[in-house]
Amino acid sequence: MPAPKAAGALRTIGELAEEIGRPQHILRYWETRFPQLRPLTRAGNRRYYRPEDVALVKRIHDLLTNEGYTIRGVQKLLAAEKGGKTPSPKAFSAGSLESIRESLVKALEDDEG
């Protein structure tokens, strides 16, 4: 087994895909959906991810996998952060969505009754 790379070292697409547990084609797809994600490309279109790219990939992965965001939701969140507006990733958590749903159900019941 090769020695682990230093924190600031460039990662290949294979190394990063293995690190986050996603196939390489997912990372290539994310590059088409997130303009912020631009790894270095060398001869033969070999991708090398800088530390900031690695951090962004891990964040996208976490938002999609653990936080329940959609691709579009992550796009909006990253765009808002770039524009200086930083909504909390928890802003639309399951709890707040449930409370919104309960409010809508109550409003419908009140309207019918």
pLDDT recorded at residue 112: 75
Structure tokens at 5: 């790379």
pLDDT recorded at residue 74: 92
35, 25 contact by CB (below 8 A): no
17, 31 contact by CB (below 8 A): no
Q: What is the DSSP letter of 40?
A: E
* Domain ranges (residues) in the chain: 11-86
73, 89 contact by CB (below 8 A): no
Which residues, in sequence order, are bridge partners of residue 75?
A: none
Q: pLDDT means per 10 residues in the chain (113 residues)? A: 73 95 96 94 91 95 93 91 64 62 80 71
Structure tokens at 62: 């976490």
Judge: domain 11-86, CATH 3.40.50.10440.
no
pLDDT recorded at residue 89: 53
Number of other CB atoms surrounding residue 110 within 10 Å: 8
pLDDT recorded at residue 94: 54
Phi, psi dihedrals of residue 19, rounded to the nearest 5°: -60, -40
